[in-house]
Amino acid sequence: MASHRKSRPVGTRAAGIRTPALATAALTSVALLSQSANAAPADDKPSLEEVEKKVDDLYRRAESATDTYNAAKERTTKQRKQVDTLLEDVARRTQTLNEAREELGSFAAAQYRTGAAAPGTATFLLADTPQDYFDQTQLMGRLTSRQKGAVDDYVSEQSATMKKRQEASQSLQELTETQRDLRTAKATVQKKLADARELLSELTAQEKARLAAIEQRRQQEADRKAAQLAQQQAAAEKAAQGASQEAAPQESESTPTAPDSSYATRAAKALAFARAQVGKPYVWGATGPDSYDCSGLTQAAWKAAGIDLPRVTYDQVNAGTTVPLTDAQPGDLVFFYDDISHVGLYIGNGMMIHAPKPGAYVREESIYYDGESGIHSVVRPA
Q: Tell me which of 51, 90, 294, 367 is the catalytic residue.
A: 294
* Residue 354 designated active-site: yes
* Residue 4 designated active-site: no
* Residue 342 designated active-site: yes
In sign, the C-alpha dihedral spanning 126, 127, 129, 133 is negative
User: CA 94 to CA 250: how far, in whole Å?
Assistant: 75
For the chain, the distance separating the N- and C-terminal CA atoms, rounded to the nearest angstrom, is 120
Q: Quick check: 196 and 55 in contact, CB under 8 A?
A: yes
In sign, the C-alpha dihedral spanning 117, 119, 123, 125 is negative
Q: Tell me which of 61, 186, 342, 357 is the catalytic residue.
A: 342
DSSP-derived secondary structure letter, 366: E
**CA Rg value for the chain:** 39
User: CA 255 to CA 138: how far, in whole Å?
Assistant: 88
Q: Tell me which of 60, 61, 186, 354 is the catalytic residue.
A: 354
Where are the extended beta strands (E) located within the chain?
320-323, 333-336, 342-348, 351-354, 363-366, 375-381
Q: How far is CA 184 from CA 74, 77, 313, in A?
A: 15, 17, 19
Q: Quick check: 334 and 346 in contact, CB under 8 A?
A: yes
Phi, psi of 272 (to 5 degrees): -60, -40
> Closest Cα partner for 368 from 218, 236, 233?
218
By annotation, the residues acting in catalysis are: 294, 342, 354
